[in-house]
A and B are shown apart, each in its own frame.
Chain A
Amino acid sequence: MNVRDLLKLEDLKVAVEGDMDQEVTGGYMGDLLSVVMGNAEEGEAWITIQSHVNIIAVASLRGVPVIIIAHGFEPDEDTIETAKDEEITIMTTELPPFQIAKKLITEFGL
């Protein structure tokens, strides 16, 4: 599956459309950027509540194609701009992290 396929879930809204053809191979969940930076794998959809620009640096470093900002938080303006430059997709959801993770697992078998 690719990033675009995630949009079959109505809970997800696109905030920044990056390269949506990139493959999604799994998921990662975390809010402490240093831990995510050391552990997220290439191709994983990353669920977080962080919304500041450093998340794009982490995603870009680890080859994360899509960041899902959960719990109704919205990306900062410079996060949006940098994500566009780096072609990283940002999606948002009102759902808490656990709930959106559950949907990704049950709907897509991630």
Chain B
Amino acid sequence: MMKEFALHVLDIAENSVRGEASHITIHIVEDKQENLFAMEIADDGKGIPAEMLKTIKDPFTTTRTHRRVGMGIPFLNDTCQMCGGHLDIQSEVGVGTTVRAEMQYNNIDRPPLGDIASTILNLFASYPQIHFNYVHEYREKDEDGLREFSISTDELDEVLEGTPISTPSIYVWVKGFLKDSIRELYHPEDGEEEEEEEGE
């Protein structure tokens, strides 16, 4: 079990990178109304052969043979099961892989999401050749719909006009943007206040 769920996100996304993906979508859902905490990472990488897919959650086959994935998937599988959920991996060779992890939001053993902004930023900055898309949905109890924040590296590249995200000043700016946007997702009223202050 990893201490922060963001570390699982990093681990699974790096599998996609190693799988030579050019597009990776990371989708986080925190739905208190449905008591659901979910992560889905979809890529268009080389995919996992059916034979390997069968044993991918088993830690022993993982360590005995040299495979491109380590203990990350068995750990994530354990965490999901321990937290009243499950892990689902769909993959087709030459098409891509989708990893979906689901847990009960309110399960006492569920690790906290942790510093997801830094995780996403590091992925964006470390792999400039990959098109990333990040979608984060959140809903309080008794709220009608899910609130959503999404950002893609294509959108960022357009704004940055080719300056790499790893450029120190840009890195700091994107980090602040991600942190603020995710904070606003949880507390939309804070963002409104700030905007009002700016307007004065």
**A interface with B by C-beta (< 8 Å):** 32-34, 37, 49-54, 57-58, 73, 76
A70 vs chain B, min Cβ distance (A): 13
Q: Are A76 and B112 in contact (CB under 8 A)?
A: yes
Chain B positions within 8 Å of A49 at CB level: 3
How many residue pairs, one in A and one in B, have C-beta atoms under 8 Å apart?
20
Q: Are A34 and B112 in contact (CB under 8 A)?
A: no
Question: At the interface, yes or no: B108 with Cβ under 8 Å from chain A?
Answer: yes
Q: Which residue of B lies closest to A58 (CB)?
A: B108
If A52-B112, A58-B108, A76-B112 are given as contacts, then 16 extra A-B residue pairs at C-beta distance below 8 Å, sorted by A number, are A32-B1, A32-B82, A32-B109, A33-B109, A34-B108, A34-B109, A37-B108, A49-B3, A50-B3, A51-B3, A52-B111, A53-B112, A54-B108, A54-B112, A57-B108, A73-B3
Q: Complex Cα distance A50/B1, Å?
A: 11
B117 vs chain A, min Cβ distance (A): 15
Q: Complex Cα distance A85/B175, Å?
A: 31
Interface size class of B (residues with CB under 8 A): under 10
Chain A positions within 8 Å of B109 at CB level: 32-34
Q: Complex Cα distance A50/B82, Å?
A: 16
Chain B positions within 8 Å of A73 at CB level: 3
Chain B positions within 8 Å of A52 at CB level: 111-112
- Which residues between 1 and 17 of chain B lie within 8 Å of chain A, taking CB atoms? 1, 3
A90 vs chain B, min Cβ distance (A): 16
Q: Complex Cα distance A83/B3, Å?
A: 20
Chain B positions within 8 Å of A32 at CB level: 1, 82, 109
Contact digits for B107-121, partner A, Cβ 8 Å, 1 yes 0 no: 011011000000000
What 8 pairs between A and B have smallest CB-CB spacing? A52-B112, A33-B108, A34-B109, A34-B108, A33-B109, A54-B108, A32-B109, A37-B108
Q: Complex Cα distance A73/B111, Å?
A: 15
Chain A positions within 8 Å of B82 at CB level: 32
Q: Complex Cα distance A76/B111, Å?
A: 13
Q: Complex Cα distance A32/B82, Å?
A: 10
B68 vs chain A, min Cβ distance (A): 29
Q: Complex Cα distance A51/B112, Å?
A: 10
Q: Which residue of B lies closest to A79 (CB)?
A: B112
What are 5 A-B residue pairs whose CB atoms fall within 8 Å in the complex? A32-B82, A37-B108, A53-B112, A73-B3, A76-B112
B124 vs chain A, min Cβ distance (A): 24
Q: Which residue of B lies closest to A76 (CB)?
A: B112
Q: Which residue of B lies closest to A78 (CB)?
A: B112
Q: Complex Cα distance A45/B112, Å?
A: 23
Q: Complex Cα distance A57/B112, Å?
A: 14
B179 vs chain A, min Cβ distance (A): 13
Q: Complex Cα distance A52/B108, Å?
A: 11
Chain B positions within 8 Å of A33 at CB level: 108-109
